[in-house]
Structure 1
Amino acid sequence: MASVTVTRRRALLSHGSCLAIIVLALASLAAAAVAEENGGETNWHVVSVSSLLPSAAACTAAKAASSTNSSSVLSVVHRHGPCSPLLSRGGAPSHAEILDGDQDRVNSIHRKHKHKHSGSSKSKTDPAGTSNKGVSLPAYRGLSLGTGNYIVKVGLGTPAKDYSVVFDTGSDLSWVQCKPCKDCYEQQDPLFDPAQSSTYSAVPCGARECKELDTQGCSTDNKCRYEVVYGDQSQTDGTLARDTLTLGPSDDSNNKLAGFVFGCGDDDAGLFGKADGLFGLGRARVSLASQAAARYGAGFSYCLPSSSSGAGYLSLGPAAPTNAAFTPMLARADTPSFYYLDLVGVKVAGRTVRISPAVFRRAGTVIDSGTVITRLPDAAYAALRSAFARYMGTKYRRAPALSILDTCYDFTGYSTVQIPAVALVFAGGTELRLDFSGVLYVSKVSQACLAFASNGDDQSIGILGNTQQRTFAVVYDVGNHKVGFGAKGCA
């Protein structure tokens, strides 16, 4: 009888131990959820399934506060979200269409990078991004705009008229469509009319700005002509011009940039959507960032909202939030429009994924506001995908792939989900611990996918896309050659 009693006691103790383990596990899960809600560091995201999708109709955006004192703070909204002024002329594309278009942009970036390294051409731009005479605009400014996701409103001319334009860190020349137009695509707002602006002037052929571009030549009245051909064969042709650019409230003189050089497009075609044009924030002298440096300082920052129904900001000047962590901005002359970073590793659920830093450094990594999904070398992506799937385990059903995204899950029937955190590690030890919105791309509750994709090889350049940048204050301190990330820059 004694042995039976001991056995029963051991069974009871074993049962009690199991209960204790379950209680501790639940407590740990609850603690993780609390830490996440309170902004504390945790290796997991615990989120409500009902919060995964933005409101289909409501714009909940309030203008996000910038960390800088610059007066040139512009509200940033998603071009396909309910806050976008472009939706009044048509609905948003499907998720598959957005991702397919994203691949077109990436292919264009890869082609240009490989072209520059093939020996068939040499860059005529120095590492600091200062253009020299004879630079070919289509050679390094041409990118597909089909996935330029974020737009800002700017004022152009005197008196200022508002225009909704895509902003793009991978392009340099800013442009809008202008009257009279030989062939223009349909846009949201009336075309810019130079005749209605008292401060407009065409750039003459002998001007420095004209000499720095590969122009089509001069018009009969000595006006400088430009041409930009993008990766998807979209293009804009027109007259290089100067006028007053207004960034923010028009009654504040600090918001005005006199003599801003831009393209006045009069022969445009392609996949530009309903945007009125594009403003480039690349590294060349003609970009908005470079032209505004004397007024605001050499650099800019932005924050992209977590949801398409929210708002972020774009601010000129290098000022950064106090919590920003910086990593060096690498100098590369081969694709001078881009900002290069030194990505060296990836973490999943707080643990370093085994990937040699040499895998990332073989071709390098650029940060790009116009690419949606981060692209990694194939070896790095395979390791990340494997680690992520291992932590997800078998709890959640797998879902079909979505375009370029091949690691998807079905959360139907769950009220909350627990997702491993993902962090990108840069040179100097800087870690970008992604917001939940940067870990999963959610098309619907039954199809939530790991928001990374493979380059398809280990030789193509890596790209840090805008999904992974969401909610961070991303600071481009061009003067000090560094890029910073400040958590919770916007909601």
Structure 2
Amino acid sequence: MEGKLMILLPLIVFFSTVEAQQHVEKMQHHQNSDSFTLELVHRHAFQFTNNKLKTRQERLEDLLHRDVIRHRIASHRVQTRRRSGEAISASASTEMPLASAVDYAIAQYFTTLNIGTPSQKFRLVVDTGSDLTWVSCRYGCSGRGGDCSRKGRMKGNRVFHAPSSSSFSPIPCASEMCDVVASPFTLTTCPTPLTPCAYAYSYVDGSEAVGVLANETITVGLTNGRKTRLRNVVIGCTNSYKASIGHIDGILGISNTKYSFTTYAAEKFGARFSYCLVDHLSHLNVTNYLTFGKRRNQVKVLGNTRYTRLELDAIPSFYAVNVKGISIGGKMLEIPMKVWDTTQGGGMIIDSGTSLTRLVDSAYRTVMEVLTKSVSKYQRVKLDTIPMEYCINATAGFDKTLVPKLIIHFKDGARFEPHWKSYIIDAGGGIRCLGFSPAGFPGLSTIGNIMQQNYLWEFDLEGKKLGFAPSSCNNS
């Protein structure tokens, strides 16, 4: 399995509506709220585990297996671009193909979204690696081999019935939008200019989503308790999907492209979004939130917010940061600068869909050498089912004072200081493991969601800056 993984400003086709209605809605929007929030549910939440609770070790094993697949997909995507000789620039990123190679089985968070008029509720994978938002859907008999019956569900999942929505507006195959969003994965046939734009959204793992593109209305709850409609959001009406996505109805694409959902929502609400992820070992009912808009995610921060430049144009589709180096115990490690340089095949991204922090080999070996010395007093153990290189037996208790402070330094002077338990990970049963995994070079390093835990992350797309502050990730 090859190839996967993140926002600018959306390219949307607007269909005419009544001007007065638009004006009223705009006024209501500004009077009501300047942000909205989506609940994020982790893949290990009770409703996704077939009512069978997993042990800590089983949960960690599950996450790490998916990390390996996700990183292969991300690296494949970047390397394919580099081999093609295309310049990595803002203008090039607007023409990124739809095949982000997302593997739906590996996503970590889910949310519910109300789509259409009247709205229909669906459970979607929240994926920073997918450009297109799509839902299992029935609309005519478009696509290749699609099941066009009026069944309520597709392979056991809920299905959006497009003809029942008054706001569903297919994008014509002869339109510029069809070329920009779906190319090169549009189906070649365009019998008439108004025929819906059909796509075959292919993934490197061999799966494929087939359907038509449309503009649709999505209803979201504002932070003041009211609701508002996001109109003319580009979605995919997928009538055939060649793979299993379990109990999920589709994908919420929040990558760094001009037509992703996050870009569109962030633009409408002030070009910002934020999230705060609780510890992955927290009670399964603990909730995370993704907030779009100028109003900060309403969680309590436990320190100052620091800011670094968000490199939106450095690695197309990804949220990249400009790293200077890593220090442990106050000493800067000797890591080649090319590891962090996107022009030399390196770079670091921040990704909510990857669990462990991945470092390319030279950085990984250096970090692991220092950290293993700090916990060398404990007996080393090997966990056959968990692909982490160094684990220890701490059943008699773990002395956290032995753990040196790890800091990621950014070129503009900002410093990210993750909590020690985010890189000395509790694997259950008194076993702790060093929470890093290796990646080949050239390739990307990734700040994974375990290292991001208990921090509030704010993405300012207009100002191109990333804010972060330690947080309990709750409102108390």
TM-score normalised by the chain length of structure 2: 0.78
What is the Cα deviation at residue 452 of structure 1? Answer: 0.8
Aligned to 2:412, what secondary structure does the other structure show?
A: helix
What is the Cα deviation at residue 419 of structure 1? Answer: 5.3
Aligned to 1:329, what secondary structure does the other structure show?
A: strand
Q: Superposed, which structure 2 residues align to 1:390-401 within 5 Å?
A: 390-394=373-377, 396-401=378-383
Change (3 A) 1:151 1:359: same
Counterpart code for 1:72: F
What is the Cα deviation at residue 479 of structure 1? Answer: 0.7
Whether the aligned pair in 1 keeps the contact of 2:35 and 2:295 (CA below 8 Å) is no
Aligned to 1:371: 354
Aligned to 2:68, what secondary structure does the other structure show?
A: helix
Aligned to 2:41: 77
**Offset from partner CA, 1:126-145 (integer Å, 9 cap, x none):** 4167624xx5322xx22333
Match of 1:153 among 108, 112, 136: 112
Counterpart code for 2:308: T
Aligned to 1:428, what secondary structure does the other structure show?
A: coil
Change (3 A) 1:294 1:111: closer
Aligned to 2:104, what secondary structure does the other structure show?
A: coil
What is the Cα deviation at residue 287 of structure 1? Answer: 0.3
Whether the aligned pair in 1 keeps the contact of 2:256 and 2:312 (CA below 8 Å) is no
CA distance in 2, matches of 1:304, 1:128: 32
CA distance in 2, matches of 1:287, 1:136: 12
What is the Cα deviation at residue 248 of structure 1? Answer: 2.3
Aligned to 2:90, what secondary structure does the other structure show?
A: coil
Q: Superposed, which structure 2 residues align to 1:412-431 within 5 Å?
A: 412-414=395-397, 417-418=400-401, 420=403, 421-431=405-415
Aligned to 1:290, what secondary structure does the other structure show?
A: helix
Change (3 A) 1:360 1:285: closer
Report the structure number with the largest CA radius of gyration. 1
What is the Cα deviation at residue 293 of structure 1? Answer: 3.6
**Offset from partner CA, 1:374-416 (integer Å, 9 cap, x none):** 111211111111111111231x221214543111112213276
Match of 2:364 among 372, 381, 392: 381
CA distance in 2, matches of 1:365, 1:441: 21
Change (3 A) 1:426 1:145: farther
Aligned to 1:108, what secondary structure does the other structure show?
A: helix
The answer to whether 1:233 aligns with 2:206 is yes
Aligned to 2:78: 113
Whether the aligned pair in 2 keeps the contact of 1:355 and 1:383 (CA below 8 Å) is yes
Whether the aligned pair in 2 keeps the contact of 1:105 and 1:231 (CA below 8 Å) is no
Counterpart code for 1:216: L
Whether the aligned pair in 2 keeps the contact of 1:86 and 1:275 (CA below 8 Å) is no
Aligned to 1:144: 103
Change (3 A) 1:249 1:481: closer
Counterpart code for 2:237: C
What is the Cα deviation at residue 174 of structure 1? Answer: 0.7
Which consecutive residues of structure 2, in runs of 5 or more, have no partner in the other structure?
1-32, 140-145
The answer to whether 1:461 aligns with 2:423 is no
Aligned residues, how many?
A: 411
Aligned to 1:372, what secondary structure does the other structure show?
A: coil
Whether the aligned pair in 2 keeps the contact of 1:328 and 1:483 (CA below 8 Å) is yes
Whether the aligned pair in 2 keeps the contact of 1:160 and 1:250 (CA below 8 Å) is no
Match of 1:287 among 247, 254, 260: 260
CA distance in 1, matches of 2:202, 2:53: 27
CA distance in 1, matches of 2:269, 2:472: 20
CA distance in 2, matches of 1:146, 1:270: 9
Counterpart code for 1:131: T
Counterpart code for 2:424: L
Aligned to 1:247, what secondary structure does the other structure show?
A: strand
CA distance in 1, matches of 2:472, 2:460: 16
What is the Cα deviation at residue 265 of structure 1? Answer: 0.8
What is the Cα deviation at residue 81 of structure 1? Answer: 2.3
Whether the aligned pair in 1 keeps the contact of 2:44 and 2:59 (CA below 8 Å) is no
Aligned to 2:271: 298
The answer to whether 1:197 aligns with 2:165 is yes
Aligned to 1:330: 311
Counterpart code for 2:310: M
Whether the aligned pair in 2 keeps the contact of 1:102 and 1:147 (CA below 8 Å) is yes
Whether the aligned pair in 1 keeps the contact of 2:35 and 2:269 (CA below 8 Å) is no
Aligned to 1:315: 291
What is the Cα deviation at residue 480 of structure 1? Answer: 1.2
Whether the aligned pair in 2 keeps the contact of 1:105 and 1:145 (CA below 8 Å) is no
TM-score normalised by the chain length of structure 1: 0.76
Aligned to 2:35, what secondary structure does the other structure show?
A: coil
Whether the aligned pair in 2 keeps the contact of 1:407 and 1:449 (CA below 8 Å) is yes
The answer to whether 1:95 aligns with 2:60 is yes
Which consecutive residues of structure 1, in runs of 5 or more, have no partner in the other structure?
1-68
Q: CA-atom RMSD, angstroms? A: 2.9
Change (3 A) 1:415 1:405: closer
The answer to whether 1:131 aligns with 2:111 is no
Identity fraction in percent = 26
- After the TM superposition, which parts of structure 1 deviate over 4 Å for at least 4 consecutive aligned residues? 88-94, 218-221, 249-254, 318-322, 415-419
Counterpart code for 2:231: A
